Structure 1
Amino acid sequence: MTVTEQPATRAGTVPTARSLTGTLGTTAIVMMVVAAAAPLTVVGGAAPLGILLGDGVGFPAMYAISGLVLFLFAVGLSAMTRHVPKPGAFFTFVGYGLGKPAGLATAFLALLTYTAIQVSVHGYVGYILSVTVAGLGGPDLPWFLYSLLTIALVGFLGYRHIDLSSKVLGVLLVAEVAIVLALVAAVVISGGPEGLSLAPFEPNNVLSGSPGIGLMFAIAAFIGFEATAIFRDEAKDPSRTIPRATYIAVIGIGVFYTLASWALVMAWGPGGVLAQAAKDPGAMILITTLTYLGPIGEVIMNVLLITSMFACVLSFHNVITRYQHSMSNAKVLPNVLGSVHHKHFAPHVSSVVQTATAAVLIVIFAVLGLDPVLEVFTWFAGVATLAIAVLMAITSVAVIVFFARTGADRRLWHTKIAPGLGLIGLAGSAIVIAANFPMLVGDVNEQGLPVFGTVSAVLLGLIVLFPVGGLVQAAVLKRTDRAAYDNMTDAISG
């Protein structure tokens, strides 16, 4: 990997490294973004909750539906990457399609999205580690100490060469996918207590219970796949690598989640899976593994659940640091965040800032006495889910507008039909998620119906506040530094 340097602005000044370059292949990028989706964490944590709180037996179909909608979104996203050769993803594409203010607004919303999902998982992994260590006879330490330890380890890897992170993520991802596929195979071979069937995909089951909640859990499981464009500057042959990685990621995630959740239903049977999920959704995957793979399989699954969460936060750390790096090069975040380490060739300052941000948030949550699972994880995963649906919907609009204005690509499927269908699906999903958001954070009335209380108002307010902040900054920058404003989008590539 090499670094592109900007020329010194005055005699005697040492040039500052600003641009990331590298030779990441399709496989490495796919592993990093799929690791962010945390396959085992989703199958073990989100799927049982989707079954319990969502549409029960029909929940696996929600992964298939979400995968289809996001595939349509990926078609436009991939077409855009061929004609806008810049990193930055949402920030860049919306800026090119809808203008600089809209681009900056989505940039800040994206930072909120990825920070929220990262810190939510830090809370969860801290809890899991504290319970696991105590259960093995170790010291009974508070969850936030384990969260801070995880943040430190992630920060160490994020500070260094991206290839190191990709190798760590690759090993962890292969291991967690392998154990889930082993469980699926065991269920298929045994046939389950009620035999194998396609009951999860029957319309009456898909629309049963609370399909809106089910859709919310399903879309949340895909967060991270769209970040392939973030690694453009570090990719080998990015015009081919990035689109290919995007398609492989979204299709692979969709198929994997649908298959794994179907197997989870079959493991207990359509008639018994809801009751089993209600007993203990957090332990459902471990109990299922014990039943079908025995005690050794259960131990392996428990260990890989923890490493899956670690892989998730490491991947999102890399995404956020590169988002900050791109925004710095666009002159909308402090200049120092755009620097690249002379030895590790990573956005090291951005990495340190992200590590500090995660640590400070965890400390604040601990001081406030928030529950690491029911509040830290659930609340902020909900924020990220709604924000990502909004971000993708806006990006779909930007893709359509960009190609309609420039005529750079005249393929109807890639520039109008697929992005348009994706927009309809994403906008509908965002509405459903927003309507059900209070239930996710526990704001319900005596009848159990969602009401927009204090927690809902604060968390939803963040989703409004961050993009508004971006719009305000764009307006200020336009008045105070017109040159920086005019070069905002072009500056992203360094």
Structure 2
Amino acid sequence: MTAPEQNTSGHLAPNQLGVPGVVFLVLAAVAPLTVAIVVAALAIALGNGGGVVVAFVLVAITLLLFAVGYAQMSRELANASGFYAFIVKGLGKTAGLIAGFIATLGYNFFVAGAVGTAGFFTSIVIAQITGLDIHWYLAGVVVMVIAFLLARGGIELSAVVLGIALVLEVLILLVFSVSVLVQTGFSLEVFSTDVILSGSLGVGLLLAATAFLGFEATSLFSEEAKDPHRTIPRATYAAIVIVGLIHAITVWAIVSAVGVQNAQETALASLETGDLVLVLVDQYLGPFMLIAVLILLVVSLFAAQLAFHNVASRYLFSLGRAGVLPASLSRTRENGVPQNALMVNAGFALVVAGLFALFGLDAITTLVPVMIGFGTLCILVLQMAAALAVVVYFRRRGDARWGKTFVAPGLGFLGLLGICTMAVLNFSVLAGSEAWYVTILPWLLALAVVAGVVYGAYLRKNRPEVYGRLESDLERFDPDPVSTTRH
């Protein structure tokens, strides 16, 4: 007799992930190879040219400052709610509800957009290697179905697959960077003031910040982590440091290869074809490695889709368990996987992408700017709100560790506030489109705020048990008394 496929425990499987597993999950979402080929080229072209290397370093420092407070908070909460949980604790239940709506919108939009990017690039690579012409939506459906099946198999399986994909991505970037170092050398001009302040440093910082999206998901996996109040902080620090090093070294290699002074001009000339990095790979590593990079680009996009699919399902699961969304979303399989939440996320992504395909719209110029552009803005806003929530939470408690719970996260908040401001003011750059239906998307955030306030008031008055569960559902173990009293 076979075991039932689902249970109604409302709990994810514990003790599945150590520090490496969590790091693999979040670094795969960052998609280092995709960042190098797409984001880095954009940042060089539209940002501050060769000085964008420093922009990546500054963003990493900002996120590390935020992570100091984030780590302290992670030691006291083990949950599948991520930023929603932090914001509830710091800014209150209604603010947390708003954050939950923004997170749900953002990550679900992101996965829908990923169907477009993964499908588009997969179809191109298949055409170049085999000559077969496959529609981007068909390729995207295959990628999404594989991601769903792997996610359904358990978070540990996802971590293993993503770990393999991540190692391959990082290895190819390392080989490229070493080749540039040996053949050309790394130019120290990238650290000169004139280069750093050339072009638009603000846009450079904004695009560099998008290259770190995914690191914030560490706390989402704390219910499934081993010894979460130690695993999650360590994984957060490790993720930011590793991502920062990979991005900074890769971008340094790119601008050194084209020449620091000519970097922006060269990147602008390659903007339409998007082949700046691919041309450099062909030049420094040869045509065989170029094919390998194209294949690994598809692997990178798949890994990011799988990672964000897991993240989106955890937010749906958490809001379902709290009673904000249908309770069926909190049902799990026998292996502790939130299968219903995974199905809803995959279904949403395929239906939305399918509508774009049905009307004959191009994935890269329509679906991706709408979905990934807005999803990116949502995640940046959540990072900023979480940084503020950490500061407020520890100040309300009178925590004596001012450096760890006020100064560092406060500076992180100011940095993220600046990045979010740049994101709103330059949303067409962030999304990669100036179409009217793209530029109005930031107003959806205002609608999410209004919806959260109205729904929060309704729950508080008419369903107080659900409103109370917004906070009580978050507690998964008692705070570590050592971590909260140490000065």
Equivalent residue number for residue 176 of structure 1: 169
**What is aligned with 2:40?**
47
Give the match for residue 423 of structure 1. 413
How big is the shift at 1:182?
0.6
The equivalent of 2:374 in structure 1 is 383
1:49-198 aligned at under 5 Å gives the runs 49-190=42-183, 192=184, 195-198=185-188
The residue aligned with 1:32 is 25
Alpha-carbon distance between aligned partners in 1 of 2:423 and 2:340, rounded to the nearest angstrom: 35
Q: What displacement does 1:202 show?
A: 1.9
Match of 1:3 in 2: none
Quick check: 1:220–1:381 contact (8 Å CA) kept in 2? no
* Corresponding letter in the other structure for 1:199: E
Name the amino acid aligned to 2:241.
Answer: I
Is 2:51–2:190's contact at 8 Å kept on the other side of the alignment?
Answer: yes
Aligned with residue 209 of structure 2, among 202, 205, 219: 219
- 1:11 is matched with which residue? none
What amino acid is the match of 1:65? L
SS of corresponding position for 1:222: coil
Find the partner of 2:455 among 444, 460, 473. 473
Q: Within 2, Cα distance between the matches of 1:140 and 1:15? A: 43
Alignment match, 1:300: 292
Cα deviation code 1:95-119 (max 9, x no counterpart): 0111100001001111222223322
Q: Give the whole-Å Cα distance in 2 for the aligned partners of 1:73 and 1:113.
A: 21
TM-score by length of 1: 0.90
Match of 2:222 among 217, 232, 249: 232
Does the alignment pair 1:356 with 2:347?
A: yes
Say if 2:448 is the partner of 1:456.
Answer: no
Whichever residue aligns with residue 107 of structure 2, its letter is: Y
1:153-177 per-position Cα deviation (integer Å, ceiling 9, x unaligned): 1111111211111111000000000
Query: C-alpha distance in 1, partners of 2:53/2:469?
Result: 46
Deviation at 1:374, TM superposition (A): 2.8
Following TM superposition, the consecutive aligned residue runs of length 4 or more in structure 1 with deviations greater than 6 angstroms are none
More displaced, 198-207 or 367-376? 367-376
CA distance in 1, matches of 2:151, 2:372: 22
Give the counterpart letter for 2:250 in structure 1. A
| Alignment partners' CA distance in 2, 1:322 and 1:440 | 26
Aligned residue among 8, 12, 28 for 1:16: 8
Q: Which residue of 1 aligns with 2:464?
A: 482
Inter-partner Cα distance in structure 2 for 1:369 and 1:59: 36
- Within 1, Cα distance between the matches of 2:270 and 2:243? 25
- More off after superposition, 28-37 vs 131-140: 131-140
Pick aligned residue for 1:406 from 397, 400, 405: 397
The question of whether the paired residues in 2 share the 8 Å contact of 1:35 and 1:315 is answered with yes
Please tell me whether the aligned partners of residues 148 and 362 of structure 1 are also in contact (alpha carbons under 8 angstroms): no
1:329 aligns with 2:321: yes
Change (3 A) 1:238 1:362: same
Structure 1 distance, partners of 2:285, 2:162, is 25
Write the letter of the residue equivalent to 1:203.
T
The farther-off stretch of 81-90 and 69-78 is: 81-90
Counterpart of 2:10 in 1: which secondary structure? Answer: strand
Bigger Cα displacement from structure 2, 482-491 vs 258-267: 482-491
Aligned AA for 1:119? A
Contact 2:374 2:442 survives alignment (8 Å): yes
User: 2:304 aligned with 1:312, yes or no?
Assistant: yes
What is the aligned partner in structure 2 of residue 210 from structure 1? 200
Aligned residue in 1 for 2:253: 263
Residues 18 and 340 of structure 1 are in contact (CA less than 8 Å); yes or no, is this contact kept in structure 2?
Answer: yes
Are the aligned partners of 1:389 and 1:427 in contact in 2 as well (CA < 8 Å)? no
Letter in 1 for 2:57: A
When the two structures are superposed, what TM-score results if normalisation uses the length of structure 2?
A: 0.92
**8 Å contact kept, 1:383–1:463:** no
Partner of 1:199: 189
CA contact (8 A) 1:329 1:493 kept: no
1:161-198 Cα deviation digits (max 9, x unpaired): 111111110000000000000111111111x2xx5322
2:357 & 2:220 partners in 1: Cα distance?
32
C-alpha displacement at 1:26, in angstroms?
0.1
User: How many residues are treated as equivalent by the alignment?
Assistant: 468
Determine if contact 1:119/1:362 at 8 Å carries over to the other structure.
Answer: yes
Structure 2 residue ranges without an equivalent (≥5):
1-5, 477-487
- 1:319-364 per-residue CA deviation (whole Å, 9 max, x = no partner) reads 111111111111111111111101x321111111111011011012
Unaligned runs of 5+ in 1: 1-13, 445-451
SS in 2 for 1:476: helix
Do the aligned partners of residues 386 and 16 (structure 1) sit closer, same or farther apart at CA in structure 2, a change above 3 Å counting? closer
Q: Secondary structure at the match of 2:470?
A: coil
Alignment-mate amino acid for residue 333 of structure 1 = L
Q: CA deviation at 1:441?
A: 4.9
- CA–CA distance in 1 between the matches of 2:267 and 2:370? 21
Residue by residue over 1:394-429, the C-alpha shift from the partner in whole angstroms, topping out at 9 and shown as x without a partner, is 11221111111123x421111100111011111111
Q: How far is the alpha carbon of 1:463 from its aligned partner? A: 2.2
Helix, strand or coil at the partner of 2:11? strand
Mapped to 2, the partners of 1:340 and 1:398 lie a distance apart of: 30
Question: How far apart, in 1, do the equivalents of 2:7 and 2:213 lie?
Answer: 37
Q: Within 2, Cα distance between the matches of 1:214 and 1:371?
A: 27
8 Å contact kept, 1:326–1:493: no
Please tell me the root mean square deviation across aligned C-alpha atoms, in Å: 1.9
Are the aligned partners of 2:212 and 2:243 in contact in 1 as well (CA < 8 Å)? yes
Provide Cα deviations, 1:361-416, integer angstroms capped at 9, x if missing partner.
10122234432223322343332332222212211221111111123x42111110
Secondary structure of the residue that 1:208 maps to in structure 2?
A: coil
Q: Which residue number corresponds to residue 277 of structure 2?
A: 285
Asked if structure 2 preserves the Cα contact closer than 8 Å seen for 1:98 and 1:401, the reply is yes
